[in-house]
Amino acid sequence: MQNIIDRFISYVTVDTESNPNSETTPSTEKQWVLANKLVEELKSIGMQDVSIDDKAYIMATLPSNVEHEVPTIGFVSHFDTSPDFSGANVKPQIVSDYNGKDIVLNAEQNIILSPDYFKDLLQYKGQTLITTDGTTLLGADDKAGITEIVTAMEFLINNPEIKHGKIRIGFTPDEEIGRGAHFFNVEKFDAQWAYTMDGSQIGELEYENFNAAGAKITFKGKSVHPGYAKGKMINSMLVANTFISELPADEVPERTKGYQGFYHIHHLTGSIEETVLELIIRDHNQKKFEKRKEKIQKIARKINKKFAKQFGEDIIVLEIKDQYYNMKEKVLPVKHIVDIAEKAMRELNIKPIIKPIRGGTDGSQLSYMGLPCPNIFAGGHNFHGKYEYVPVESMQKAVEVIVKIAELTALPNFGLEEPKSKTKKRK
C-alpha cells in the first residue's frame, strides 16, 4: 500500500483548485503543474499513446494483450479540486491502525475529526487513514481516483499474465466547476464505455444522477436616504428575502436524501441597489426537474407583478441554465456495463452500494456525449472541506476493482452468468 500512499500524497500536495470565474480551460494555470506531471508519470510506467492537448485533457492507452476481439473500455478521473475550500499547501496526515476515536487534525485550532459526528469513520477502524491538517481540503476528490487508475495500469503492465482488452484512460481539468467534460474528445478517446472513479465510500456504484440547472437571480432596488425613504426606497436585499421565503423550506440539501430533489442557495451578495442570488436546482426525475425551474420563474413573475407600478420595470432578472442530465437514460440500454462492475466488486468481497448520485460527475455529461459512463467509488469522505479523509485500504480495493473489470471484459460474455445487453464491438 505504500506505493498508493506515496503516489496519492504526490498528487494532493500540488494545488489544482479550479476557478468558476475564469473563462480559460483549464480555469487555473496551476492545474498544468499536475497535468504535466501525470503525463510524464504515465510514460514512465509504460503507457502508450500518452497525450495532453492545449486544454490539459490527458489520454493514454494500455494495449490489449489478448488475440480475440474485446471491447475497448475506459477509466476517467479529474485532477482539479473544489474552489469551495482551499486546496493550497495541503499537508496530509497519516493515521495508521485507526483506533475508532477522535482524530486531532489541528491542535492549535482545536479541529477534531470525530466519529461522534462523522459516523462513517467507525467502519474503518484498524485501517490507515489519510486526513487533512485541518486548514485545507485533502483533494481525494478526485486525486484518489487518479491514484487508483495509474496504480491499476502500472499493475497490469507489470503483470502481463492478467488478460485484458484495450484500455483507455482520461484525466480532465475543471470538473469541480461543471466543465470537466466540455472539451473531452469522445471520438479520440474511442472507447465503447468507461467508468469514472469519482465516488465516495467503498462499494459505491452509481448510474443515476441529478438533472441539474443553475440560476442567477438579480434583484434591483432604489436607494434613498433612510430618513426620507417612506414610499420611495426599495431594498433589493429584502426583495431577495421575499423570493427565498417563497421557496419550499424543506426542499434544501440539508433536509433531503436519496431521490429527493432540492433548491440550494450557495451565494448571496447584495446592497440596497442590487442583490445577486445564485442557486442550483436538482432532481432525478425529469418532470419534477422541469417543474422546479417553472416554480422559480413563477415566483419571479409574482414579485415582478407586485412591484411593477412602484419600480416601473421588472425588479427581478432571472437567468436559468441547464448543467447536466440524469445519465440513467443513456446507461440503461447498455446495463451490462454496470453488471460487470457489480460482478467485479462481488468477486472481491466488496458489497456493492448501488444508489443514485446526489450530484453529478464527468460521467453524466460523457454519457450524453456518446460515452456511457457509470461511477465507481474512489474511497474518500467529507469532500470539499477540512474534514476530508480517505482510507488507504479503500483506494487499494478500487485498484483491484479496475483490474477485475479489465479481466472480466476480456472473458466471453464478460463473465456474466446470463446474456446481457450488447454493444457493437470495435477492433
Spacing of C-alpha 243 from chain mean position: 30
How far apart (Å, rounded) are the C-alpha atoms in residues 410 and 72? 10
Q: Hey, is 159 helix, strand or coil? A: coil
Phi and psi, residue 123, nearest 5° = -75, -5
Best CA proximity match to 412, nearest among 61, 66, 166: 66
How far apart (Å, rounded) are the C-alpha atoms in residues 354 and 221? 48
329 neighbors 410 (Cβ within 8 angstroms): no
How do 375-377 and 193-199 pair as beta strands?
parallel
Give the CA distances from residue 308 to residues 84, 233, 257, 334, 389, in Å, rounded to whole numbers and listed in that order: 37, 14, 38, 52, 51
Distant-in-sequence, close-in-space partners of 299: CB < 8 Å, separation ≥ 6: 243, 246, 247
Other residues' Cβ atoms within 10 Å of the Cβ of residue 124: 23
Q: Hey, is 73 helix, strand or coil? A: strand
How far apart (Å, rounded) are the C-alpha atoms in residues 216 and 207? 29
How far apart (Å, rounded) are the C-alpha atoms in residues 246 and 353? 36
Buried b (16+ CB within 10 A) or exposed e, 163-189: bbbbbbbbbbbbbbbbbbbbbbebeeb
Based on the residue annotation, tell me whether 313 is a catalytic residue of this protein. Answer: no
Instruction: Describe the crossing of helices 2-12 and 392-409 by its angle, rounded to 10 degrees.
Output: 100
Annotated ligand binding at 141? The verdict is: yes
Spot the catalytic one: 15, 17, 80, 142.
80
Spot the catalytic one: 175, 204, 206, 339.
175
How far apart (Å, rounded) are the C-alpha atoms in residues 289 and 251? 13
How far apart (Å, rounded) are the C-alpha atoms in residues 226 and 47? 68
105 neighbors 132 (Cβ within 8 angstroms): yes
Based on the residue annotation, tell me whether 116 is a catalytic residue of this protein. Answer: no
Best CA proximity match to 338, nearest among 376, 366, 369: 376
Annotated ligand binding at 208? The verdict is: no
Q: Hey, is 169 helix, strand or coil? A: strand
Annotated ligand binding at 176? The verdict is: yes
Active site residues: 80, 175
- Binding-site residues from annotation: 78, 141, 176, 198, 384
Residues belonging to the binding site for Zn(2+) are: 78, 141, 176, 198, 384
